Structure 1
Amino acid sequence: MSVGPNPRPSARHRARTTVAGVRGGRPPTDRDDRTGAGRRPVTDTRRVADDDSRRPDPGILPLIADPFESVADAHERLTTLESTFRERGDRRGAFLCVYARVTEAVGVAIDAGEFADPDWVTDYLVTFADLYREALLAYETGDLVALPDPWQVAFETAERGDALVVQDVVLGINAHVNYDLALALHRVGVGPDRRARYADHCAVNAVLRSLVDEVQDRIAANYAPGVTDLDESFGRLDEALSMLSLREGRDSAWRSAVALSSRFRLRRRLAGWVLRTSSTGAAYLLLAPTVSRSVADALAGVERGDGVPSEE
């Protein structure tokens, strides 16, 4: 259940809507790529020239300027990004607190021989991480045309800091799993041995399942001490629901990747449209107010470690 207020569009969001706009519809994506879901438009690679609200951060830009070269490189730079964000009080680090650890754990599983095609899983993992890097680079440099809509919502919300930390994390997961993952799978290819690659794709779920408790502890230690109180209050139900939704998101990403690989142009374009609209819609749904302001404030207090309010 989401508790945050309706997000007010930032100056950067308003500037974008005058050019391409989440509400106005993104410009046509790369019509030559077979996916219909490319990040950079062929006919409109403009930056938003009048958007002066962001300058590239010299502490962040060197970490995201170049593609990741390996799993180790991705993990190292993601970890450094997380610590940099955390030291600055930038809530964009909350998602990375989870994602950097996941990247490391899947890398360990690759080295341990837990996948039938370790080279493919390695390419998959690095490509997946690189899509996050591309989104963050677009955000940092103000290249709002290249910035995927769900990532714009996630980054802007985290920078404002007016949602729950848990919402910041889930917004990042939504953008990365419900949007980026299908594109990563498409880039590395789901064939020719589709059944074997799907098995390796599903094998990642076991790694994710093993990390649920650990990542909750990491979020509590670094961003929201009260997450452990919420966990104690709700038991393992929240963990089961989070794993269920993540598994469903990953299954959906596989189906979308298959559609993006179709020889039929209409199916490819439809898959790209569904990726954008569903992941962006989910992001706004996560931020839609569904409880009172007092309840939202109470939950924020619990996250900060104020304790679970007692019943009166």
Structure 2
Amino acid sequence: MNSQVSVVDRMQIQIDLWDAVLDRRSIFLTCYAMMTRNMLVAAEAGEFRDGLWVSALLHHFADYYFDALERHDRQQADTPAVWRLTFEASGNPRLHVLQHLFLGVNAHICYDLVFALRDMIGPEWAHLSPVQRQARYEDHCHVNEIIYQTINRVQDQVIERYSPAMDLVDKLFFSLDEWMIYRMIANWREQVWRDAAQLVACSTDSESGPVCQRVEAHVLNYASAILGERGLPGLLDILT
């Protein structure tokens, strides 16, 4: 329990520091902290097939975020390209709050989660039965439901803080916007599982290298679309 408290507290400490100086990196991290808190509560409540495994994955996943942040703040050359782009974009006042949010979601889910999942399932995969493998996948998918349950709160407490007009959008379209975001993220996370499984199946660097390059190219392509650099085709690409 202490480790669970510490990961959310670590996020909140960073959020408070950024909010104090109006650093828009807090947009994604505030959303991420909400999601993490709800995931941990769900794990403790027995919503997952293997709550301990899900909790361990959540903590390992968070380490990827803070590692990228530390590398960027130290201006290290090995900062993941998608995170460098995302963090640097936070200084652009012309970007909409949703662009800041989705840039972070893209970097952390479509990139970090691939490798966090690989790290977690790789050592055990050969020893798991088909039923156990399916249980891992079902736990991965159940996260989508918790994300959906959290989206409305994210909109109320994070998005509308920066863009009050989003409240009008929500009233006009009821839950359509939440559903679109949910489907987009669910589709992204399905691809993440496939990418992680493909990496687990690789036995050499020569096999995994092209997969990693494809994942990086994919997230940079999405980031470009989120920034509006690819026009309508780019937006349609990330929604489907």
Matched AA of 2:191: S
Q: Tell me if 1:160 matches 2:100.
A: no
- Superposition deviation, residue 180 in structure 1: 0.6
After superposition, where does 1:104-253 map in structure 2 within 5 Å? 104-143=37-76, 145-189=77-121, 191=125, 192=128, 193-220=132-159, 222-253=161-192
Structure 2 Cα separation of the partners of residues 240 and 223 of structure 1: 21
CA distance in 1, matches of 2:218, 2:36: 25
- Pick one of 80, 98, 101 that aligns with 2:31: 98
How high is the TM-score relative to the length of structure 1?
0.67
Structure 1 gaps, min length 5: 1-68, 292-312
Mapped to 1, the partners of 2:140 and 2:78 lie a distance apart of 27
The structure 1 segments of at least 4 consecutive aligned residues displaced by more than 4 Å after TM superposition are: none
Deviation at 1:221, TM superposition (A): 5.2
The structure whose residues are more often helix, as a share, is: 2
Q: What secondary structure is seen at the aligned counterpart in 2 of 1:288?
A: coil
Kindly report which structure 2 residues correspond to 1:282-301, keeping only aligned pairs within 5 A, or say none: 282-289=222-229, 290=231
Task: Say which one has the larger Rg.
Answer: 1
AA at the equivalent of 2:219 = S
On the 8 A contact 2:48/2:142 being kept in 1, the answer is yes
Letter in 2 for 1:268: S
Task: Identify the structure with bigger relative contact order (alpha carbons < 8 Å, sequence gap 6+).
Answer: 1
Partner of residue 21, structure 1: none
Deviation (angstroms), 1:72:
1.8
Deviations 1:38-77 (A, max 9, x none): xxxxxxxxxxxxxxxxxxxxxxxxxxxxxxx833211111
Q: Indicate conservation of the 8 Å contact 2:71/2:79, yes or no.
A: yes
2:6 aligned residue (48, 73, 80): 73
Unaligned runs of 5+ in 2: 233-240
Provide the rounded CA distance (Å) in 2 between the counterparts of 1:263 and 1:288: 35
Equivalent pairs counted in the alignment come to 222
- Aligned-partner Cα distance in 1 for 2:158–2:8: 17
TM-score of the two chains, using structure 2 as the length reference = 0.87
RMSD: 1.7
Q: Once the 2 structures are TM-superposed, how far is the Cα of residue 227 of structure 1 from its aligned partner?
A: 2.0
- Say whether the 8 Å CA contact 2:160–2:167 is kept in structure 1: no
